[in-house]
C-alpha cells in the first residue's frame, strides 16, 4: 500500500506547541513581538473590503510582494539590526530605516531576483529539488538547520556532513576540499543554527571563491537581521549564490508562512519552474497582502530586532555570571550549557515553571539548551525561574 520512497522520509520535529497551558514560548525562535500595526490593518482591510478576492486564485508569482521585498532590501541593506532609525512613533512603527555604510547593497535588487514561497522551508525544498543532484554528496556542516537532512532524504540527495570545529564554528577548509573533490554544492545557515555563530560577509566571499563555480552555493539567512552580515551584496560577484530568507523570525510573521530567495534571475526562474510543477499558488491572497505591508514598515522590525539583540546580550551576561557556557550569538536565540547541569532535566523543570525552551537529544549537542530571546519581561521571568532551580 505504501510507496517504497516513503522509507527515505524522516520528518522534521518542530518545537512543541502545547495547548495545556499558557507557556512563555522560547522554543521555536519565533519573534516575541506582533507584526507591524500596518500588517494587521492591511490584512483586515483585505479580508473585508476585498473579500471577493478570496474567491479567486491569488497572483501565482506574488509580483507585488516581490517588488515590496526588493524595495525593503534596497532600503535596509538587507539587514535590520544595524540600520539607522529616524522619526517614527515610540513603537518604531513608521520610522524611516537606512542601512549602515557597511551594509549598503552596491546594486539595486530587482523583483526578478526574488522568488517567494510558503515559508522558507518550502522555498528550501524547491532549492533542493532544483539544484542538488542524487549523484554526489551535498556538503553541509554538522550541526546546522536540521531540516536540510530531512529534504535530502525526501529528494534522495546524499549528504557529506562535515563536523563543526571544537569551537563550534564551520570547518570551512574541510567543507571546501570535500565540495571540490566531488564537484558539489554547499549549504549552511549564516548565522548558523543551533549555534548562533555567524561568518562575516568576507569569510563567505572567500568560501564562494574557493568553491565549485558550476554548483549552486546556498546561504540561509533566516537569522541575519539580529546581527549578522547579509551576503546579498555578494550577488554582484557570484552568479551561483542563492540566499534564502524568511518572514518568520525578524519580520514577526511565522504564522503568515512567507519565505523568499534572493539570487540571479536565471536561478530564480529554475526555482519557479519547480514551483509551477508542484504547487502553482504557494502564497494565499491574505499572506501576500500582509507581506507587502510588512515590507513597508522595515523601521518597526528594525526596532524589534534591536530590542531582541539588546535583551540577548543582557541574558548572555546573566548566564555567564552564573557559570554557563554561552556560545556568542548573532541571532534571536542562544545555545548554552553548564558543567554538572543535565540539560534535559533543566528543560523539564523550566517547562514545569511555565516556560518552553528547546532541548535536542541529538548526540553531540545533548548537553545544550537552545533558548529563544523573548521580551524583557519574558526574559526576566526566565531569569527568576533559573535562579530558583
Q: Which residues bind ligand PLP (CB under 6 A)?
A: 29, 119-121, 145, 189, 193, 220, 222, 246, 248, 254, 259
CB of 228 to ligand PLP, least distance (A): 12
- Closest to ligand PLP by CB, 95 vs 232, is 232
- Closest to ligand PLP by CB, 121 vs 297, is 121
Query: How many CB atoms are closer than 10 A to CB 9?
Result: 9
CB of 148 to ligand PLP, least distance (A): 9
CB of 345 to ligand PLP, least distance (A): 26
- Residues shown for the chain: 389
Contact 150, 10 (CB under 8 A): yes
CB of 294 to ligand PLP, least distance (A): 13
- Closest to ligand PLP by CB, 224 vs 350, is 224
- Closest to ligand PLP by CB, 31 vs 386, is 31
| Strands (E) located in the chain | 24-25, 84-86, 96-98, 114-117, 138-142, 159-163, 186-189, 217-220, 241-246, 259-262, 325-326, 333-337, 355-356, 369-372
- Closest to ligand PLP by CB, 248 vs 287, is 248
As given in the structure block, the three cell numbers for residue 188 are 549552511
- Closest to ligand PLP by CB, 195 vs 386, is 195
In angstroms, what CA-CA distances link 294 with 44, 65, 71, 81? 14, 10, 12, 16
Q: What angle do CA 93, 290, 48 make, to 5 degrees?
A: 110
In three-state secondary structure terms, 314 is helix
DSSP 328: -
CB of 211 to ligand PLP, least distance (A): 20
Comparing CA positions, the residue from 376, 323, 329, 378 lying closest to residue 356 is 378
Comparing CA positions, the residue from 241, 291, 236 lying closest to residue 116 is 291
Paired sense of beta strands 217-220 and 186-189, if any: parallel
Q: What is the signed CA dihedral for 83, 84, 90, 93, rounded to 10 degrees?
A: -50
- Closest to ligand PLP by CB, 120 vs 185, is 120
- Closest to ligand PLP by CB, 121 vs 311, is 121
CB of 1 to ligand PLP, least distance (A): 31
CB of 225 to ligand PLP, least distance (A): 12
CB of 117 to ligand PLP, least distance (A): 8
DSSP 358: B
| Helices and strands (DSSP H and E) totals, the chain | 11, 14
Report d(CA 210, CA 202) in Å as an integer: 13
- Closest to ligand PLP by CB, 85 vs 254, is 254
CB of 100 to ligand PLP, least distance (A): 24
Amino acid at each position: 500500500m505504501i510507496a517504497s520512497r516513503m522509507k527515505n522520509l524522516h520528518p522534521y520535529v518542530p518545537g512543541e506547541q502545547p495547548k495545556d497551558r499558557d507557556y512563555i514560548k522560547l522554543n521555536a525562535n519565533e519573534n516575541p513581538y506582533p507584526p507591524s500595526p500596518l500588517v494587521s490593518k492591511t490584512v483586515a482591510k483585505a479580508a473585508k473590503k476585498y473579500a471577493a478576492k478570496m474567491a479567486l486564485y491569488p497572483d501565482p508569482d506574488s509580483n507585488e510582494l516581490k517588488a515590496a521585498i526588493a524595495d525593503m532590501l534596497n532600503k535596509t541593506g538587507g539587514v535590520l539590526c544595524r540600520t539607522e532609525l529616524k522619526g517614527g512613533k515610540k513603537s518604531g512603527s513608521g520610522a524611516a530605516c537606512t542601512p549602515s555604510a557597511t551594509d549598503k547593497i552596491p546594486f539595486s535588487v530587482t523583483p526578478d531576483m526574488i522568488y517567494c514561497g510558503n515559508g522558507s522551508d518550502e522555498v528550501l525544498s524547491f532549492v533542493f529539488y532544483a539544484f542538488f543532484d542524487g549523484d554526489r554528496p551535498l556538503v553541509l556542516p554538522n550541526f546546522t538547520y536540521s531540516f536540510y537532512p530531512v529534504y535530502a532524504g525526501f529528494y534522495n540527495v546524499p549528504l557529506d556532513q562535515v563536523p563543526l570545529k571544537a569551537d563550534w564554528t564551520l570547518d570551512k577548509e574541510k567543507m571546501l576540499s570535500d565540495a571540490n573533490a566531488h564537484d558539489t554544492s554547499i549549504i549552511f545557515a549564516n548565522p548558523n543554527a543551533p549555534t548562533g555563530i555567524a561568518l562575516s560577509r568576507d569569510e563567505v566571499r572567500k568560501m564562494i571563491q574557493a568553491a565549485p563555480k558550476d554548483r549552486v552555493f546556498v546561504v540561509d539567512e533566516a537569522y541575519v537581521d539580529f546581527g549578522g552580515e547579509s551576503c546579498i551584496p555578494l550577488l554582484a560577484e557570484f552568479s551561483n549564490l542563492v540566499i534564502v530568507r524568511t518572514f518568520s523570525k525578524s519580520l514577526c510573521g511565522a504564522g503568515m508562512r512567507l519565505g523568499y530567495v534572493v539570487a540571479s534571475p536565471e536561478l530564480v526562474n529554475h526555482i519557479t519552474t519547480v514551483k509551477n510543477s508542484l504547487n502553482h499558488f504557494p502564497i494565499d491572497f491574505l499572506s501576500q497582502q500582509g507581506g507587502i505591508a510588512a515590507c513597508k514598515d522595515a523601521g518597526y522590525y528594525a526596532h524589534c530586532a534591536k530590542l531582541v539583540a539588546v535583551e540577548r546580550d543582557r541574558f548572555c551576561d546573566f548566564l555567564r555570571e552564573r557559570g554557563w557556557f554561552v556560545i556568542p550569538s548573532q541571532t534571536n536565540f542562544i545555545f548554552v550549557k553548564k558543567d554538572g547541569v543535565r540539560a534535559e532535566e533543566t528543560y523539564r523543570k523550566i517547562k514545569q515553571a511555565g516556560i518552553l525552551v528547546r532541548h535536542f537529544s541529538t548526540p553531540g549537542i545533548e548537553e545544550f539548551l537552545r533558548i529563544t530571546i523573548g521580551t524583557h519581561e519574558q526574559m526576566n521571568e526566565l531569569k527568576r525561574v533559573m535562579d530558583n532551580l
